[in-house]
Amino acid sequence: MDGLDNVPPFFLCPISLQVMEDPVTISTGVSYDRASIDRWLTEYEHHTCPVTNQHLTDLTLTPNATLLRLIQSWAACSTGCVAPAVAATKPGFDVSEILGDLGDPAARADGKAKALKTIRSLVLDDDGNAAHMEKAGVTSLVASLIATCEPSEALRNIVDPVVLIDEATSVLHLLKPSPETLREVSESRNGELIASLASLLQRGSNQARVHAALLLRSIYEVVGDNLKARIPVDLIEGVVEILKDQNADRATTMALLAIMIEVLPHGKNRLKAVQAGAVAVTVDLLVEESVDRRKCEAMLYLLELMCGRAEGRAELVGHPAGVAALVAKVLSLSSGVTARAVKVLGLVCRYCGGVMEEMLQVGGVAKLFMLVQMESNRRSREMAKAILGNHIKAWSKSPCFPSHCLP
């Protein structure tokens, strides 16, 4: 805590007690440094707000751009600031050559590749260099390289532009652009950066696909709704393709789910997701996942969004494991998982009459009765009661009805 006496208290992360480098706000309205709150939720598996101790049903981390600007302004006007990512110190390197190679449209691709390697080396040597490069405009130029590099350049240059874009994507991820810069480069040129990254999801190397997914998640957290409604044609197909392989690590899978959750509420994206096979892929992933609470909550929320359309509900009911997968998650990993699962079951039971018998066969009705008796979450209990109230008359006539549930 030395040197922090004059720091405004709301600039400090309540967990680390250090100046926040990437402030994000959770559903309780409290802001934390992203690294600290993410570790609290994932590594320590807490499900409460550290400050208020409120239970969290929504684990979204929303960038606090206003707070970040205040911290950066304060750091620029202060002396002895201990926050390395925002400190106004002089970089120990000259960016002029990097700017020349990346900013000159006539520069050869091999020169740009060399500049990217230099950037990588500098950031790996000292991650504080990333902030200096962003201030100098290097980050924006790397993003522009991804957005504008044309395959035809392969005929004129030594380096294959596909390899060059892969490397630029990796470097942009390494630079960790601020929310302001990321939004600016993503919204420029009519969203060309987003289109290029979406294309990489299907045609990039394995590493490039991972970095593209992580970047797109961050981008869709900060861009306006217009870009979320007007997504590239291959974005959802690329996401579904990677999820379908089931070879992605946890971070990549969570990033892909987050992308879908960000864009599906806008425009016709829910229908596009259903048509791309996202319901079946999500159900398959849900069946395989029995440990990761946050991943299950994200998948169930994605199913909830898609089941808001008749096409999505039809796909889920038509999947051999669709209803059973939802029932299995009731009263399983957490109250959040239970609430999400019951909400999707409510949509299915309300609009898909043919699922009534299956609910009995897979133990769904018995689970709902158990939930009413055991679940501490009032909202989940009320949703379960509503489903039972609407269908108990029909269910009780079936020979599969669990008679021990009757009073």
pLDDT tens, residue by residue, 88-132:
444 556 666 777 777 766 667 778 888 888 888 888 888 778 888
| pLDDT at site 228 | 93
C-alpha–C-alpha distance, residues 340 and 346, integer Å: 10
Cα 291 → chain centroid: 19
CB 15 within 8 A of CB 37: yes
10-residue stretch averages of pLDDT, the chain, 407 residues long: 64 81 90 85 75 81 89 74 44 67 71 86 84 82 79 44 82 90 88 90 86 93 92 92 86 93 93 94 90 90 93 91 88 85 87 76 80 76 81 71 58
Measured between alpha carbons, how far is residue 198 from residues 201, 244, 269, 344, 401 in Å?
5, 16, 15, 29, 48
Give me the sign of the Cα torsion angle 377, 15, 13, 7: positive
Q: What is the pLDDT of residue 403?
A: 59
Task: Write the DSSP symbol of residue 401.
Answer: S
Contact 384, 372 (CB under 8 A): yes
- Give residue 398's pLDDT: 67
Q: What is the pLDDT of residue 390?
A: 76
Q: CA nearest 291: which of 246, 243, 333, 252?
A: 333
Q: Which residues pair with 19 in a beta bridge?
A: 12
Distance CA 176, CA 34 (A): 12
* DSSP for 173-231, written as a single string: HHH---HHHHHHHHHGGGTHHHHHHHHHHHHS-HHHHHHHHHHHHHHHHHS-HHHHHS-
Q: What Rg, from alpha-carbon coordinates, does the chain have?
A: 24
Report the C-alpha gap between 293 and 75 in whole angstroms: 38
Closest by CA position to 183, among listed 215, 217, 219: 219
Rounded alpha-carbon distances, angstroms, from residue 202 to 17, 197, 205, 209, 360: 41, 9, 9, 7, 41
Q: Between helices 235-245 and 250-263, what is the axis angle to 10°?
A: 150
Helix then strand then coil, in percent of the chain rounded to 5, is 65, 5, 30
Cβ burial of 245 (10 Å; 0-12, 13-18, 19+) is: exposed
User: In one letter, which amino acid is 24?
Assistant: V
* Contact in structure between 53 and 17 (CB atoms under 8 Å): no
Question: pLDDT tens digits, residue range 354-366?
Answer: 777 788 777 877 8
Q: What distance in Å separates the CA atoms of residue 129 and residue 320, rounded to the nearest whole number?
A: 52
CB neighbour list of residue 362: distance below 8 Å, 6 or more residues apart: 323, 324, 327
How many Cα atoms sit within 13 Å of 337 on the Cβ side? 21
Report the C-alpha gap between 164 and 156 in whole angstroms. 14
Cα–Cα distance measured from residue 205 to residue 193, given in angstroms and rounded to the nearest whole number: 17
